[in-house]
Amino acid sequence: IATLYVVATPIGNVTDISLRALHLLGIVDAVACEDTRNTAHLLTRFGLNKPLIAAHQHNEREVAQSLIARLQAGERIALVSDAGTPAVSDPGARIVDAVRDAGLRVLPLPGASAAITAISASGLLNDQFYFVGFLPAKAKQRETMLQSLSGITATMVFYEAPHRILDCATALAAVFEPSRQVVFARELTKLFEEIHRCPLSEAEAWIRADAHREKGEFVILLEGAPAEQDAQDVEAERILNILLAECS
Protein backbone atom coordinates (compact mmCIF):
# COMPACT_ATOMS: atom_id res chain seq x y z
CA ILE A 1 0.00 0.00 0.00
CA ALA A 2 1.30 3.45 -0.93
CA THR A 3 2.69 5.19 2.15
CA LEU A 4 3.55 8.76 3.09
CA TYR A 5 6.26 8.85 5.77
CA VAL A 6 5.93 11.76 8.23
CA VAL A 7 9.44 12.28 9.53
CA ALA A 8 10.45 14.38 12.55
CA THR A 9 13.76 16.24 12.23
CA PRO A 10 15.93 17.90 14.92
CA ILE A 11 14.97 21.21 16.61
CA GLY A 12 18.56 22.44 16.82
CA ASN A 13 21.14 19.73 17.37
CA VAL A 14 21.37 17.79 14.08
CA THR A 15 22.61 14.66 15.83
CA ASP A 16 19.15 14.29 17.36
CA ILE A 17 17.92 12.83 14.07
CA SER A 18 16.87 9.20 14.54
CA LEU A 19 18.61 6.26 12.85
CA ARG A 20 15.26 5.28 11.41
CA ALA A 21 14.72 8.76 9.94
CA LEU A 22 18.19 8.70 8.35
CA HIS A 23 17.59 5.26 6.87
CA LEU A 24 14.19 6.26 5.51
CA LEU A 25 15.43 9.56 4.07
CA GLY A 26 18.13 7.54 2.35
CA ILE A 27 15.68 5.28 0.51
CA VAL A 28 12.77 7.56 -0.44
CA ASP A 29 12.30 8.84 -3.99
CA ALA A 30 11.53 12.40 -2.87
CA VAL A 31 11.13 14.57 0.22
CA ALA A 32 8.24 17.03 0.60
CA CYS A 33 9.45 19.88 2.80
CA GLU A 34 8.52 23.28 4.18
CA ASP A 35 11.63 25.04 2.90
CA THR A 36 13.76 23.33 0.27
CA ARG A 37 16.95 25.18 1.30
CA ASN A 38 16.65 24.09 4.94
CA THR A 39 15.98 20.49 4.05
CA ALA A 40 18.72 20.39 1.40
CA HIS A 41 21.08 21.63 4.12
CA LEU A 42 19.98 18.94 6.57
CA LEU A 43 20.25 16.16 3.99
CA THR A 44 23.69 17.35 2.90
CA ARG A 45 24.87 17.10 6.53
CA PHE A 46 24.20 13.37 6.27
CA GLY A 47 25.53 12.92 2.73
CA LEU A 48 22.05 12.61 1.21
CA ASN A 49 20.75 14.23 -1.92
CA LYS A 50 17.07 13.78 -2.81
CA PRO A 51 14.58 15.52 -5.10
CA LEU A 52 12.71 18.04 -2.92
CA ILE A 53 9.08 19.12 -3.25
CA ALA A 54 8.12 22.45 -1.66
CA ALA A 55 5.13 21.89 0.64
CA HIS A 56 4.44 24.97 2.74
CA GLN A 57 1.35 26.53 4.28
CA HIS A 58 0.42 28.37 1.06
CA ASN A 59 0.37 25.38 -1.29
CA GLU A 60 -0.47 22.41 0.95
CA ARG A 61 -3.79 21.61 -0.73
CA GLU A 62 -2.40 21.54 -4.28
CA VAL A 63 0.75 19.70 -3.27
CA ALA A 64 -1.36 17.09 -1.48
CA GLN A 65 -3.02 16.12 -4.77
CA SER A 66 0.27 15.79 -6.65
CA LEU A 67 1.79 13.79 -3.75
CA ILE A 68 -1.19 11.42 -3.81
CA ALA A 69 -0.72 10.88 -7.56
CA ARG A 70 2.99 10.19 -7.08
CA LEU A 71 2.37 7.81 -4.16
CA GLN A 72 -0.24 5.95 -6.21
CA ALA A 73 2.32 5.66 -9.02
CA GLY A 74 4.59 3.81 -6.56
CA GLU A 75 6.97 6.53 -5.37
CA ARG A 76 8.17 6.54 -1.76
CA ILE A 77 7.81 10.00 -0.27
CA ALA A 78 8.80 11.53 3.09
CA LEU A 79 7.23 14.65 4.55
CA VAL A 80 9.37 16.86 6.82
CA SER A 81 9.10 20.40 8.20
CA ASP A 82 11.86 22.88 8.97
CA ALA A 83 12.33 21.61 12.52
CA GLY A 84 10.74 19.09 14.83
CA THR A 85 7.56 17.20 14.12
CA PRO A 86 5.58 18.06 10.97
CA ALA A 87 2.00 19.27 11.55
CA VAL A 88 2.81 20.48 15.09
CA SER A 89 2.57 24.27 14.62
CA ASP A 90 4.02 23.50 11.19
CA PRO A 91 2.60 22.60 7.77
CA GLY A 92 1.66 19.00 7.15
CA ALA A 93 -1.81 18.39 8.60
CA ARG A 94 -3.65 19.15 5.35
CA ILE A 95 -1.39 16.84 3.38
CA VAL A 96 -1.80 14.04 5.92
CA ASP A 97 -5.56 14.56 5.91
CA ALA A 98 -5.76 14.38 2.10
CA VAL A 99 -3.48 11.32 1.90
CA ARG A 100 -5.58 9.49 4.49
CA ASP A 101 -8.78 10.53 2.70
CA ALA A 102 -7.39 9.02 -0.50
CA GLY A 103 -7.16 5.70 1.34
CA LEU A 104 -3.36 5.67 1.47
CA ARG A 105 -1.22 4.91 4.52
CA VAL A 106 0.48 7.55 6.68
CA LEU A 107 3.41 6.29 8.72
CA PRO A 108 4.94 8.58 11.38
CA LEU A 109 8.63 8.44 12.28
CA PRO A 110 8.76 10.13 15.71
CA GLY A 111 11.49 12.44 16.88
CA ALA A 112 12.04 15.85 18.41
CA SER A 113 9.27 18.27 19.23
CA ALA A 114 10.01 21.48 21.13
CA ALA A 115 6.90 21.18 23.32
CA ILE A 116 7.68 17.69 24.59
CA THR A 117 11.37 18.51 25.02
CA ALA A 118 10.48 21.54 27.17
CA ILE A 119 7.97 19.60 29.27
CA SER A 120 10.48 16.84 29.95
CA ALA A 121 12.98 19.26 31.49
CA SER A 122 10.54 21.61 33.25
CA GLY A 123 10.06 19.72 36.50
CA LEU A 124 6.41 20.81 36.51
CA LEU A 125 4.63 17.99 38.29
CA ASN A 126 1.27 18.19 36.55
CA ASP A 127 0.97 15.25 34.17
CA GLN A 128 -1.65 16.94 32.01
CA PHE A 129 -0.78 19.54 29.42
CA TYR A 130 -2.70 21.74 27.04
CA PHE A 131 -0.92 22.68 23.83
CA VAL A 132 -1.79 26.27 22.86
CA GLY A 133 0.97 26.77 20.29
CA PHE A 134 1.35 30.29 18.91
CA LEU A 135 -0.81 33.04 20.41
CA PRO A 136 -2.39 35.61 18.07
CA ALA A 137 0.05 38.43 17.29
CA LYS A 138 -2.53 41.20 17.85
CA ALA A 139 -2.74 42.31 21.49
CA LYS A 140 -6.54 42.32 21.76
CA GLN A 141 -6.96 38.85 20.26
CA ARG A 142 -4.12 37.55 22.37
CA GLU A 143 -5.76 38.84 25.55
CA THR A 144 -9.12 37.30 24.60
CA MET A 145 -7.44 33.98 23.97
CA LEU A 146 -5.53 34.12 27.28
CA GLN A 147 -8.71 35.01 29.20
CA SER A 148 -10.34 31.93 27.71
CA LEU A 149 -7.52 29.81 29.16
CA SER A 150 -7.72 31.15 32.73
CA GLY A 151 -9.61 28.11 34.08
CA ILE A 152 -7.43 25.46 32.46
CA THR A 153 -5.90 23.26 35.17
CA ALA A 154 -3.40 21.50 32.88
CA THR A 155 0.06 22.96 32.27
CA MET A 156 -0.21 25.21 29.20
CA VAL A 157 2.36 25.07 26.40
CA PHE A 158 3.00 28.13 24.23
CA TYR A 159 5.25 28.61 21.23
CA GLU A 160 6.50 32.15 20.65
CA ALA A 161 8.56 34.03 18.10
CA PRO A 162 11.70 35.57 19.65
CA HIS A 163 10.73 39.19 18.93
CA ARG A 164 7.45 38.76 20.85
CA ILE A 165 8.79 37.04 23.96
CA LEU A 166 8.63 40.12 26.18
CA ASP A 167 5.14 41.05 24.95
CA CYS A 168 4.05 37.52 25.64
CA ALA A 169 5.40 37.53 29.21
CA THR A 170 3.67 40.86 29.87
CA ALA A 171 0.39 39.55 28.43
CA LEU A 172 0.56 36.39 30.58
CA ALA A 173 1.27 38.46 33.71
CA ALA A 174 -1.77 40.66 33.00
CA VAL A 175 -4.16 37.69 32.92
CA PHE A 176 -2.90 34.93 35.23
CA GLU A 177 -2.13 34.89 38.97
CA PRO A 178 1.40 36.20 39.70
CA SER A 179 2.23 33.14 41.82
CA ARG A 180 1.82 30.67 38.94
CA GLN A 181 5.05 28.98 37.88
CA VAL A 182 6.29 29.72 34.39
CA VAL A 183 9.10 27.99 32.50
CA PHE A 184 11.06 29.57 29.68
CA ALA A 185 12.78 26.89 27.59
CA ARG A 186 15.07 28.74 25.23
CA GLU A 187 17.26 27.45 22.38
CA LEU A 188 16.59 23.81 23.28
CA THR A 189 19.30 21.36 22.19
CA LYS A 190 21.45 24.30 20.97
CA LEU A 191 24.64 25.85 22.29
CA PHE A 192 22.94 28.54 24.39
CA GLU A 193 20.14 26.41 25.77
CA GLU A 194 18.53 27.87 28.87
CA ILE A 195 15.65 26.51 30.94
CA HIS A 196 14.41 28.92 33.58
CA ARG A 197 11.55 28.51 36.02
CA CYS A 198 10.13 31.31 38.16
CA PRO A 199 6.83 32.76 39.39
CA LEU A 200 5.01 34.68 36.66
CA SER A 201 5.56 37.89 38.66
CA GLU A 202 9.32 37.59 37.97
CA ALA A 203 9.14 36.62 34.30
CA GLU A 204 9.44 40.06 32.72
CA ALA A 205 12.43 41.01 34.89
CA TRP A 206 14.18 37.74 33.99
CA ILE A 207 13.84 38.44 30.25
CA ARG A 208 15.00 42.04 30.66
CA ALA A 209 18.02 41.02 32.74
CA ASP A 210 19.95 39.82 29.67
CA ALA A 211 19.63 41.23 26.13
CA HIS A 212 20.27 37.75 24.69
CA ARG A 213 17.02 36.55 26.18
CA GLU A 214 14.97 38.37 23.56
CA LYS A 215 16.65 36.29 20.89
CA GLY A 216 16.40 32.64 20.03
CA GLU A 217 13.51 30.26 20.07
CA PHE A 218 11.26 29.76 23.08
CA VAL A 219 8.73 27.38 24.49
CA ILE A 220 6.82 28.81 27.44
CA LEU A 221 5.10 26.55 29.95
CA LEU A 222 2.56 28.00 32.36
CA GLU A 223 1.29 26.22 35.45
CA GLY A 224 -2.44 25.52 35.27
CA ALA A 225 -5.15 26.96 37.53
CA PRO A 226 -5.51 25.23 40.90
CA ALA A 227 -7.96 22.31 40.64
CA GLU A 228 -11.46 23.03 41.99
CA GLN A 229 -10.78 20.97 45.15
CA ASP A 230 -7.51 22.81 45.84
CA ALA A 231 -9.25 26.17 45.41
CA GLN A 232 -11.96 25.05 47.86
CA ASP A 233 -9.33 23.84 50.36
CA VAL A 234 -7.55 27.20 50.19
CA GLU A 235 -10.82 29.04 50.81
CA ALA A 236 -11.79 26.71 53.69
CA GLU A 237 -8.39 27.24 55.31
CA ARG A 238 -8.74 31.00 54.95
CA ILE A 239 -12.14 30.97 56.70
CA LEU A 240 -10.89 28.61 59.41
CA ASN A 241 -8.00 30.96 60.16
CA ILE A 242 -10.40 33.91 60.52
CA LEU A 243 -12.56 31.90 62.93
CA LEU A 244 -9.57 30.72 64.96
CA ALA A 245 -8.33 34.30 65.22
CA GLU A 246 -11.76 35.36 66.53
CA CYS A 247 -11.75 32.58 69.13
CA SER A 248 -8.32 33.33 70.55
Q: What's the residue count for the chain?
A: 248
Q: Is 165 in the site for ligand SAM (CB under 6 A)?
A: no
Among 81, 122, 155, 181, binds ligand SAM (CB under 6 A): 81
Q: Is 190 in the site for ligand SAM (CB under 6 A)?
A: yes
Print the binding letters for residues 95-114 with ligand SAM: x by CB under 6 A, - otherwise.
Answer: ------------------xx
Could you count the other beta carbons within 10 Å of the beta carbon of residue 8?
A: 22
Among 40, 88, 166, 195, binds ligand SAM (CB under 6 A): 88
Binding range to ligand SAM, per CB under 6 A, among 16-24, 187-195, 203-211, 228-236: 187-195
Q: Is 10 in the site for ligand SAM (CB under 6 A)?
A: no
For residue 72, the one-letter residue type is Q
Please tell me the distance from the alpha carbon of residue 158 to that of residue 179, in angstroms, as a whole number.
18
- Give the burial class of 202: count Cβ atoms within 10 A of its Cβ; 0-12 exposed, 13-18 middle, 19 or more buried: middle
> Are 77 and 67 spatial neighbours (Cβ–Cβ below 8 Å)?
yes
Binding range to ligand SAM, per CB under 6 A, among 70-78, 186-194, 195-203, 205-213: 186-194
For residue 69, the one-letter residue type is A
Q: Is 159 in the site for ligand SAM (CB under 6 A)?
A: yes
Contact set for ligand SAM, span 203-232 (CB under 6 A): 217-219
Answer positive or negative: Cα dihedral of 181, 186, 191, 192. Answer: negative
Q: Is 60 in the site for ligand SAM (CB under 6 A)?
A: no
Closer residue to ligand SAM in complex, CB, 2/85: 85
CB crowding 84-113: b at 16 or more within 10 Å, else e: bbbbbebbbebbbebbeebebeeeebebbb
Among 21, 67, 71, 115, binds ligand SAM (CB under 6 A): 115
Instruction: Please give the residue ranges that form the binding site for ligand SAM (CB under 6 A).
Output: 11-12, 81, 83-85, 88-90, 113-115, 159-161, 185-190, 217-219
